[in-house]
A and B are shown apart, each in its own frame.
Chain A
């Protein structure tokens, strides 16, 4: 274990990785990178490296879990054993079970589940490297995987965390800030519907600080939303170019 840093933010308002309080980490998003999945996406946010794949709508397995009036969305968030400092057992931990649930619940409001009764859609998320804020990056990627699979959606879901380090409310905490900082507030958001679909918090925040953190996280979401849309477009530009070459 590294020693805990004494200060997470210096006098000039610079964070350990040189960012300002309301600055995001560098983000790279790619869509449609797995050939076997119906939809897929890859995201890098800081040192986070996360893959998401969507399969379906397809027949439910086991069959008795299917619903007569809607599609069932299932979600598995999983961390690779080598994704963290100390090897993580590949068996699903309680944390992963909870995150799978909240991620599913954050994506569900975006999907027109009533369009495909009796079917299931599976979303698999693999965290290849973790650097804090993995649930948020995972949601951003998973929503793109669903869109890439052609599943009808109300909006893309985009997620970003805000939190408090030392005495400052900051955006998009990385690993050390998350562990040593005072609070972490992950938020998932659908910009077109102004809907918060995931909200969690741990730490200690006064009500005003919490209000500020939620606003900051939503602003961060809006910025990532543009990158999300750009990544989708890039993929379809490629498809279009390939079609033209063939013709």
Chain B
């Protein structure tokens, strides 16, 4: 991202991390404060807003009917899209999604898909013909670093909050009835991101640390504590040792974060 951090600041961040401290007063393995609110968009079938420090992400879920993919005729469809809304940061521009927002959407998507969070078979209305399609739209409202974790958490919270319309089939036509049922969920992935600065791992990098860090590691953990998605980012590297060390840090934090989810 094109925003700049001065060299003095970079040095300051690096020296602090050397001592196990950070600019915002956290220790290297401290996560920022999290607030989750659900159901604030009445028009959406599900919604959630996550505040991660000053980072703010809103996720809306819309449920519509459509045709399934030919290779999975008995399963509903889930898609994730992410918008880096221009009001969220001076570095975000209007226009078609760039590689950063596509990567963000695909990381969130992978966490939900690979953990089989949604019971897609229960979204089938008529095999091969009609299924429910779940649109998950990630809306970044304020960028203060670690959009991945905030978006993934908001997406899962919004899905937990999602209610699907009841329906009847009359003469092959789907008729929407009164009332709602809960979106069938099977798992609840939690994604945690680490940054590497000066060969030290730090949890939940905020904006200035993100601009300084060499590399990033995001891991999604499912209910069973297994790993279901990973993405390394940025133009640096990790040693094999650091990856294993990072994985342990991430698992501890994911277990803590899971307690904040309500289902």
Contact = CB atoms under 8 A, between A and B. Distances in A.
Interface string B222-242: 100111111111111111100
Contact of A195 (B229, B231, B238): B238
B136 interface: no
Interface in A180-229: 185, 190, 193-207, 210-211, 214-215, 218
A81 interface: no
Contacts of A101: 99, 102-103
Contact of B237 (A95, A196, A214): A196
Contact of B110 (A102, A195, A198, A202): A202
Interface string B97-109: 0010011011000
A202 B114 contact: yes
A202 B226 contact: no
A94 B235 CA distance: 20
A203 B240 CA distance: 20
B18 to A, nearest CB: 21
B85 interface: no
Contact of B227 (A98, A105, A109, A205): A205
A1 B72 CA distance: 11
B237 A190 contact: yes
Given A97-B99, A210-B227, A199 B232 contact: yes
A214 B226 CA distance: 15
Interface residues of B, number: 33
Interface string A60-96: 0000000000000000000000000000000000110
A interface, size bucket: 20 to 34
Interface in B79-118: 99, 102-103, 105-106, 110, 113-115
B228 A203 contact: yes
A199 B236 CA distance: 11
Interface of B: 70-71, 99, 102-103, 105-106, 110, 113-115, 217, 222, 225-240, 243-244, 247, 251
Given A204-B226, A206-B226, 16 more contacts: A97-B103, A98-B102, A101-B99, A105-B233, A109-B237, A194-B239, A194-B240, A195-B239, A196-B232, A197-B237, A199-B230, A200-B231, A204-B228, A206-B227, A211-B244, A218-B240
28 contacts: A97-B99, A97-B103, A98-B99, A98-B103, A101-B99, A101-B102, A105-B232, A105-B233, A108-B235, A109-B235, A109-B236, A190-B237, A193-B237, A196-B237, A197-B232, A199-B217, A199-B231, A199-B238, A201-B228, A202-B228, A204-B114, A204-B222, A204-B226, A205-B228, A207-B226, A210-B227, A214-B244, A218-B240
